[in-house]
Amino acid sequence: MHVVYPGSFDPLHNGHFDVIVRSSKLFDRVTVAVLENPSKRNQWLFTPEERVEIIRRAAAQARLENVQVDTFRGLLVDYMKKIGSRVIVKGLRAVSDYEYELQMAHLNRQFPPHAETLFIMAATRWSYVSSTMVKEIARYGGDVGKLVPQATLEALKARMQPER
- DSSP designation for 130: -
Catalytic annotation, pick one of 23, 24, 85, 131: 131
In this structure, what is the dihedral angle of CA atoms 37, 117, 69, 8, given to the nearest 10 degrees?
30
Is there a catalytic annotation at residue 16? yes
Could you give the CA distance from residue 73 to residue 3 in angstroms, rounded to a whole number?
Answer: 17
| 61 close to 154: Cβ distance less than 8 angstroms | no
Is there a catalytic annotation at residue 40? yes
H helices present in 27-122, as ranges:
48-61, 76-83, 95-108
Is there a catalytic annotation at residue 114? no
Catalytic annotation, pick one of 40, 41, 73, 125: 40
Could you give the CA distance from residue 7 to residue 33 in angstroms, rounded to a whole number?
Answer: 6
Instruction: Say which amino acid occupies 55.
Output: I
Binding residues: 8-9, 16, 40, 76, 90-93, 101, 126-132
Catalytic annotation, pick one of 29, 81, 86, 93: 93
Catalytic annotation, pick one of 13, 16, 57, 135: 16
Binding residues for ATP: 8-9, 16, 91-93, 101, 126-132
Binding residues for substrate: 8, 40, 76, 90
Is there a catalytic annotation at residue 24? no
Could you give the CA distance from residue 107 to residue 105 in angstroms, rounded to a whole number?
Answer: 5
Could you give the CA distance from residue 11 to residue 155 in angstroms, rounded to a whole number?
Answer: 9
How many other CB atoms sit within 10 Å of the CB of residue 55? 28
Residues serving a catalytic function are 16, 40, 93, 131
